[in-house]
């Protein structure tokens, strides 16, 4: 019985903590996800001639917001907020989306 209790205790200590308990979305991971989302958008939307992702700001421990700038082939410039956050409090899967886009 003591062996079983010791085994359960040892496994509990060795198991990684869940994302909700200790995980924070780090800047390098968020920046990589933001750049990947921007590159994917440029591949899909073929009238984007150039784009860049600027410095991100942390809003919570699991959410970063970056500034995205894009240049369109017709000469218009676009700006948007690019959000990177965890999909839920129970996972470390990061999701990205654009919001508040303006072109002029």
Query: Considering the entire predicted model, what is its pTM?
Result: 0.76
Are 49 and 71 spatial neighbours (Cβ–Cβ below 8 Å)?
yes
Is residue 53 predicted with pLDDT exceeding 90?
A: yes
| Beta-strand pair 48-60/63-72 | antiparallel
Sequence-distant (≥ 6) Cβ neighbours of residue 62 within 8 angstroms? 19, 23, 24, 25, 85, 86, 89
In this predicted structure, what is the pLDDT of residue 52?
Answer: 97
CA distance 66 to 99: 10
- Based on the structure, what is the number of domains in the chain? 1
pLDDT digits (tens, 9 = 90+) for 2-39: 554 444 444 444 444 444 444 899 999 999 999 999 99
Range of the domain at 14: 2-103
């Amino acid at each position: 019985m003591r062996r079983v209790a010791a085994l359960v205790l040892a496994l509990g200590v060795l198991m990684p903590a869940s994302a909700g308990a200790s995980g924070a979305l780090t800047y390098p991971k968020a920046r990589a996800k933001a750049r990947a989302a921007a590159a994917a958008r440029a591949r899909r939307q073929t009238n984007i001639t150039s784009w860049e992702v600027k410095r991100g700001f942390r809003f919570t421990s699991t959410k970063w917001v970056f500034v995205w700038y894009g240049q369109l082939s017709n000469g218009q410039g676009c700006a948007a907020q690019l959000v990177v956050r965890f999909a839920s409090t129970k996972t470390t899967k990061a999701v990205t989306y654009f919001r508040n886009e303006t072109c002029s």
